[in-house]
Structure 1
Amino acid sequence: MTTIGFIGLGIMGGPMAANLLAAGHTVLGHDTQQAAAERLVTAGGKYVDSVAAATAADVVITMLPDSPQVEEVVLGPGGVLEHAEPGLLLIDMSTIRPDTSVAVGAAAAARGVRALDAPVSGGEKGAIDGVLSIMVGGDVHAFDAARPVFEVLGKTIVHVGPSGAGQTVKAANQLVVGGIYALVAEAIVLLEASGVDPGPGLDVLAGGLAGSRILELKRKSMVARDFAPGFRIDLHHKDMGIALAAAREAGVALPMTGLTAQLIAAARAQGHGSLDHSALLKVLETVSGKAAS
C-alpha cells in the first residue's frame, strides 16, 4: 500500500481521503479547518500540520478551491515542490485554470516530480461512493502509475492528453452540467405554473431521451427545494469563469455557456452562493415572478 499526502479535506477531499484509507493506504492529511482534520482522524488517517509534512509521501493529492490556492500550496514558498523528492507523484484533483496546470506540470518536471491534473466530476455523492469521473492530463506513464489510486476514487478514469487537458475537459463538463441544471429548473417552473405536478412529470423526463444523471439524482430534491450543498453555486461560478476564459483562449464562441454563466452569477448575487448548484431553480423562479414570498 502507498503513503498518500492529501491536502484539502473539504466536501470532496474528505470522502476521497476516507476511501483511500478504507482501501488500505496510509493518508497524511492537511487542511486549514479543524473539523476536516477531525473527520480524517476519525476515519483512520493521520493529520499533519503543514504542507511539508504532507509531502513526505509516495503520492501527494491536492484538492483545493481554485488556482491561487494551488499556486500557493504547490509552487509557493514552503510548498509541495520545495519539499518534494524526485520521483514524487503529484496529482492535483482541483478544478482550476488549464494554464495553471501547465505551469505546475512544467515546474514539477524541472524538479523530477511527475505531475498530473486530474479534476473530477460526480459531486459529493460520487466522492463518497468512490464512483467519480476522473479526467487526467499529463504524462501517460505518470497516469499509469497513478491508476491504482484513481481506481479507488473513481469509476470512469480517462487520460485525455498533456498537462492542462484534464482541466479543459472539466471546463467542458461544468458548462454542460450548468446548462442541464438551468433547463431542469425551467422545466419545473413550466410544469408548476401550468398546474402539473412536477414529480411525475420529471419521472417521465428521466426515463426518456431527456434523461440525465442530474435528473436521476436531483429531481426530487429540486422539487422539494432542498438545496443542501453537494457542490456550491460559488464553486460553479468559478468554474464557469474558467470555461469562458478557455473559450476566449481557444478563439471560440460559446453563447449557451455565457447565458448559463450569467444565471449562475445571478444566483450568487442573490445570496445563494453557499447553496447547491441546483439552486439555479431559485433564479428561474425569480425571473418568472414565481419566487416564494
Structure 2
Amino acid sequence: MAPVSLQLGDLVWGRLGPYPPWPGKIIPPPEELEKPRGKKWYFVKFFGVEDHAWIESGQLKPYLAYKEEMIKKTKGKRFQRAVEAVEELLGTDKKKDQTLCHSSDPESATMNGMTAMAAFEWQPTASGPLKDIDPHFHHFLLSQTGKPAISSQTIIKKLKVCGEDTGSTSTQAADSTAMNGSIAPTHKKIGFLGVGLMGSGIISNLLKTGHVVTVWNGTAVTEGARLGRTPAEVVSTCDITFACMPDPKTAQDVVLGPRGVLQGIRSGKCYVDLSTTDADTVTELAQLIVSRGGRFLEAPVSGNQQQANDGMLVILAAGDRDLYEDCSSCFQAIGKTSFFLGEVGNAAKMMLIVNMVQGSFMATIAEGLSLAQETGQSQQTFLDILNQGPLASIFLYQKYQNILQGNVEPDFYLKYIQKDLRLAIALGSAVNHPTPMAAAANEVYKRAKALD
C-alpha cells in the first residue's frame, strides 16, 4: 500500500504483515502507550475484533475509496460483521450530521459532535485496559477469514481425515471466538487442575461458553468456577477432569500424590491431561487411570498465553477416541483446531517435535538479531525483511512486535521450552535419530537459564 494523507477519526483499511486488509478507524492512543520509532504510524481500532494496534502509514488506505476492492478480496463472517459495523457507524454519523446541520445553536452542535467523536475514540473493552490486550490475536483472526463459519454440530459430525498413515484426524473449529455463541456446552461436569500461565485462560473460555467448571489450585483467576479442595475431590465430583501441568514430574505428582487424582478416579470418570510431557510419562499415567476404571485422553496444547486467553490453542489428542468426542465442546471453547493422533503417547511425541521446531526457530531469530546489532544493521529492518519474505508467519510477527516494542513479558517460560527441547532430544536418542539443530538450540537456552 502506498502512503496516504490521514488524520484522526478517518476510517481506513489497515494491513498487518502478510494478512488481508481489515476495516478500522484512526483514534488517539492511550497516554501510556509508546509510539513505535521511525516511519509514520497511526493508532488504529479495528472493527469486529475489539483490537487496537500501531499501523505504519504505508499499510493504510481510505475506507470509502477502497471499499469495493477490499470487499471483493476478503470473505468470512467475521470480516462481514466488521464491514457492517463500519457501515452502521457511517449511517449514524450521517444522521448526526443532519441533526447538527438543523441545530439552532452552533456551539451546542459543535459540542455534540465532539462528544460523539470522543465516545468512539477510546473505550476500554471487556478484556480490560489496553496494556492487557495483545494486538497479535487480531493477526491470527485474519489468517482465518478464508474459512467458512461452521456450526458446532457440523464440527462434531464431520471429521476431516488429515493423514491416513498415522490415523490422525482434525476437527476444525474455524474461529473459536466467532463460534462461542453457537457452542453447545456439554452437560457433563468439568474439572480443571492447574491454574497457571495457560490454565487460567483455558478455564475462562470454558466458563464463557457455559461449561460448569470446578477448579483446584487457583481462585482469583477463576471467577464463576467452583473451587475443589484437592485433585481427588475434583475428579470424584466431575465427569471429565482436565489437568494442565508444567512438566512431567508435576503431572505425575498430581495423579500419584496425597489426595491425588488416583484417589478420586473410579469407573466412568474421565481424565484429560493437557500437559506437555514425554511419551513414557503419559503412558504410565494412562495405565494407572484405566486400571482404576477411568478413561484417559492425552491432549497437550500448542500455543502461548495469549492464544490460551483467546481460545485459539491447537490441541493434539490421543487415547480414548470416545472421550475425545465427549470433549468436543470443551475443545471448541479453548482451541482453534484439535487433532486426534491415535494411541496414547503419539500426542506427547508430536507436541515435543512441534515445540522443538518453535524453540529452535526462536533461538535462530535471536541469533540473527544480535548479529545484526553487532554488525551495525537495523534490527527492525532485519525483522521487516523476514516478515515480508517466505518466513512470514504468525509466530514470527508476534515475536517481531514484542521485540521492537521492548515487551519482555513471557508468553512461554524459558525453563519450559528448554524442558521441551531436552525431552525432544531424548525422544530422538530413543530411536537413534540425530537432532543436532535442537541440541544446539538447547545449549543456548541452557546458557540463558544459567544467566537467570
TM alignment of 1:95-114, pairs within 5 A: 95-114=276-295
Q: 1:131 corresponds to which letter in structure 2?
A: M
Partner of 2:221: 39
Q: 2:191 corresponds to which letter in structure 1?
A: G
Q: 2:219 corresponds to which letter in structure 1?
A: A
Partner of 2:232: 52
Deviates more, 1:183-192 or 1:85-94: 183-192
Q: How many angstroms apart in 2 are the aligned matches of 1:37 and 1:206?
A: 40
Counterpart contact for 1:13–1:63, Cα < 8 Å: yes
**CA apart distance, 1:157:** 0.6
The answer as to 2:186 corresponding to 1:8 is: no
Deviation by residue 1:253-282 (Cα, 9 ceiling, x = unmatched): 1000111111111110011xxxxxxxxxxx
TM-score of the two chains, using structure 2 as the length reference: 0.57
What SS is found at the alignment partner of 1:161? Answer: coil
| Moved >4 Å (runs of 4+) | none
Partner of 1:154: 335
Counterpart contact for 1:89–1:146, Cα < 8 Å: no
Deviation by residue 1:54-75 (Cα, 9 ceiling, x = unmatched): 1110110001121121112113
What SS is found at the alignment partner of 1:39? Answer: coil
5+ residue gaps in structure 2?
1-186
Partner of 1:234: 415
Instruction: Pick from 240, 252, 256 the counterpart of residue 433 of structure 2.
Output: 252
Partner of 1:26: 212
Instruction: Pick from 182, 189, 205 the counterpart of residue 363 of structure 2.
Output: 182
Deviation by residue 1:79-99 (Cα, 9 ceiling, x = unmatched): 212212312221100111210
**CA apart distance, 1:186:** 2.0
Counterpart contact for 2:230–2:260, Cα < 8 Å: no
Partner of 1:80: 261
TM-score of the two chains, using structure 1 as the length reference: 0.86
Q: How many angstroms apart in 2 are the aligned matches of 1:142 and 1:63?
A: 17
**CA apart distance, 1:179:** 0.9
TM alignment of 1:136-175, pairs within 5 A: 136-175=317-356
What SS is found at the alignment partner of 1:70? Answer: helix
5+ residue gaps in structure 1?
272-293
Deviates more, 1:125-134 or 1:213-222: 213-222
Counterpart contact for 1:188–1:223, Cα < 8 Å: no
Q: 1:177 corresponds to which letter in structure 2?
A: Q
**CA apart distance, 1:77:** 4.0
Q: 1:259 corresponds to which letter in structure 2?
A: A
The number of residues matched between the two structures is: 265
Identity over aligned residues, as a percent? 29
Q: How many angstroms apart in 2 are the aligned matches of 1:219 and 1:52?
A: 43
RMSD: 1.5
Deviates more, 1:205-214 or 1:15-24: 205-214
Q: Which has the higher contact order (CA 8 A, sep 6+)?
A: 1
Q: How many angstroms apart in 1 are the aligned matches of 2:308 and 2:405?
A: 23
Instruction: Pick from 398, 402, 410 the counterpart of residue 221 of structure 1.
Output: 402
What SS is found at the alignment partner of 2:221? Answer: helix
Higher helix share: 1
Deviates more, 1:180-189 or 1:221-230: 221-230
